[in-house]
Amino acid sequence: MSITRRRFLAGTAALPLAGALPRLAIAEMSIGAATLTTVSDGTLVLPGSFIFEPMPKDALAPILTEFGLSADRLEPECNLALYRDGSNTVLFDAGSGPDFMPSAGMLTDSLDALGLTPADITHVVFTHAHPDHIWGLLDDFDEPLFSEATHMMGRTEWDYWWNPETVNEIGEARAAFAVGAKRRMEAIEDQVELFDAGDEVLPGIAAVASFGHTPGHMSFEVRNGSDSLLVVGDAIGNHHVAFRKPEWASGSDQDAEMAAATRKVLFDRITAEQMPIVGFHLPDGGMGRVEAAEEGYRFVQEG
């Protein structure tokens, strides 16, 4: 299963200034007779504290140096997985849409670069309902963008964001996340299909519980023939501290202790089975492999 990578310029509609056009990355891998492609939604711009705040600063410093990171500003990629098996065209998550950050919301440009439109998507399967994963569900008219698609979400995740108390309990910094998620979920309430951990949500796609980043976060094992790959969403949320120190609490996770335990389980499985992964915020298209390292793990890119 070799990985190929290419880059393209986003369309002029994505940004107000043509001079600021981003170059977006695509990675692709064959899985049996099917294809898994990453489609970029652009990047986020985050304060370093969003992830690093609870981490020990002295131990963090050499990791920042190793990866050339700023403690103050992060710009992670947003890479959605697109699975095509000849029958279904499955998009994992829906991106940010136009209302979250100006550096993101470029999914339709990425699809266009592949010769696809939102109407070509047969299923949208959500890892979780944070803004950069679900706010792109609606178009400019507040109608579902993927008009021909079946929308699918884990039952635990759906129930969490649907609960009217979530907006009051999630904390002021994330209250807008809850409001935005609920509004978009209301738009698909009558069409959504819910599933549980362990379910085969579609042929060759099984839901894997990876709770912690959000209460019902799901990863997905994609299998075709003898080949398999794990779509990890934000359960492994970056290529630096999440790999080097998976046991550390991250400020990006809603339940930091559970998320750390989840990372350990995922890394154990991925390395034991030598399974490629796609991570939503991993670099250069988000696709690669995991190897054990002297300190934690390392993200290995090919192609």
Q: Are 10 and 42 in contact (CB under 8 A)?
A: yes
User: Buried b vs exposed e over 209-232: b needs ≥16 C-beta within 10 Å?
Assistant: bbbbbbbbbbbbbbbbeebbbbbb
pLDDT of amino acid 8: 64
Q: What is the mean pLDDT of residues 158-162?
A: 98
Q: What is the pLDDT averaged over residues 26-54?
A: 95
For residue 214, what is the domain's CATH number?
Answer: 3.60.15.10
Determine the structural domain holding residue 61 and report its residue range. 3-300
Main-chain phi, psi angles of 194, to 5 degrees? -100, 150
Q: Give the least confident one: 10-24, 63-77, 87-101, 104-118.
A: 10-24
Please indicate, yes or no, whether the overall pTM of this predicted structure exceeds 0.85: yes
- Helix H or strand E encompassing 264: helix 256-273
pLDDT > 70 fraction of the chain, expressed in percent and rounded: 93
Which string of b and e fits 83-110 if b means at least 16 CB within 10 Å? bbbeebbbbbbbbbbbebbebbbbbbbb
> Does residue 251 contact residue 53 with C-beta atoms inside 8 Å?
yes
Number of domains in the chain: 1
pLDDT at 20 over 60: no
Strand order of the β-sheet with 200-202 is 200-202, 205-209, 218-224, 227-233, 277-279, 287-292, 297-300
280 contacts 210 by C-beta, under 8 angstroms = no
- What's the residue count for the chain? 303
In sequence order, what DSSP letters do the residues of 239-263 get, joined into one string?
Answer: SSHHHH-TTS--TT-SSHHHHHHHH
What pLDDT does 10 receive? 62
Q: Could you read off the pLDDT of 238-282 as tens digits, one per residue?
A: 999 999 999 999 999 999 999 999 999 999 999 999 999 999 999
**Average pLDDT for residues 22-46, to the nearest whole number?**
90
Task: Summarize the confidence of residues 5-31 as an average pLDDT.
Answer: 64
pLDDT per residue as tens digits for the range 186-199: 999 998 999 999 99
The mean per-residue pLDDT over the stretch 167-187 comes to 97
pLDDT value of position 191: 87
Grouping H, G, I as helix, E, B as strand and the rest as coil, residue 104 is strand
Please give the structure tokens belonging to residue 294: 């002297």
pLDDT at 110 over 70: yes
Average pLDDT over residues 284-293: 95
Looking at per-residue pLDDT, the higher value among 139 and 8 belongs to 139
Q: Is the pLDDT of residue 16 over 50?
A: no
Number of helices (H) and strands (E) in the chain: give both, helices first. Answer: 9, 17
Q: What is the mean pLDDT of the chain?
A: 93
Predicted confidence band of residue 14 (pLDDT cuts 50, 70, 90): very low
